[in-house]
Amino acid sequence: MITGVDSKQLQNSTLITGFRTLGEVGYLAVRHLILSTKPRKIGAIVTKYQTDITFLDEYGLATPFDIFFDEGKKIIYILNHLLPIRREWADFSRTIIKWSLSLNVSNMFLIGGLDRRYKTTQASMAWLKNNYSPIELNMPLLEKQQLIIGPLALLIIYSELYKVPASILLPYADRDRPDPAAAAEAVNVISELMGLKIDVNQLLEDAKRIEEEITKQLKQLQDEMYKSQPNRHYM
């Protein structure tokens, strides 16, 4: 659901997104990009089984899946405050890719995380791209046979099938806690590629505070989503 912007303005943009998965890397990186560049919120993704949760974020009222647009840099951001319900993963991912195709998106950057326990190189991250991405990065490719699982995997699968250029950035991260330092690695790469000049010092300096806030928020979300109906905190 897009409001206040003509789809023609979105043509040939770059799309950036990530999910609340390993180390919260995708979420933290995309959110920091948005808070740093202050793009305009232009809508949200509404699903069949829409999650009934909202809250105030730094930019105002947050929905589970907010969409932003930086007109100057021609960047579309999708900020996923929640993971879609699992039975909607395929439809959610396919819808994003088909929408991107309709906009003739020039490239997609999908941000996730790799478990640092299995790190075998000195590099801070790995990456991969589909057969339609023009991007080349001076860092190791994801090791062969290493699995990507979840909505990020579905996005890259559908991007290949629908011939939408896409690349995945995968910083090594701690799997058991939010990892702002890993998110900063992805932000640095995006910043350089897109000419954004984003300062990641706040992510690094406030790592402990961010970790505590995100952990608290995750607990609240999980508590509400998995409570039985009579025990939920309706407001």
- Residues 47-73: tens digit of each pLDDT: 998 888 888 888 999 999 999 999 999
Mean pLDDT of 175-199: 93
Compare 182 and 145 and report the one with higher pLDDT. Answer: 182
For the full predicted model, state whether its pTM sits above 0.85: yes
Joined together, the tokens standing for residue 172 give 């090594």
What is the per-residue burial (b if ≥16 Cβ within 10 Å, else e) of 2-36?
A: eeeeeeeebeebbbbbbbbbbbbbbbbbbbbbbeb
Q: What is the mean pLDDT of residues 7-17?
A: 96
- Residue 153: the pLDDT is 96
Question: Per-domain residue ranges for the chain?
Answer: 7-229
The token duo for 154 is: 């579905």
Dump pLDDT digits (tens) for 201-235. Answer: 888 876 667 667 777 776 776 666 666 455 544 44
Provide the token pair at 126: 């790995």
What pLDDT score was predicted for residue 232? 44
* Window from 1-5, 98-102, 135-139 with minimum mean pLDDT: 1-5
pLDDT of residue 43: 95
Query: What pLDDT, on a 0 to 100 scale, did the predictor assign at position 213?
Result: 73
13-to-35, 99, 165 alpha-carbon distances in Å: 19, 12, 11
Give the model confidence (pLDDT) of 70-119 as tens digits: 999 999 999 999 899 999 999 999 999 999 999 999 999 999 999 998 88
What does CATH list as the number for 7-229? Answer: 3.40.50.10900
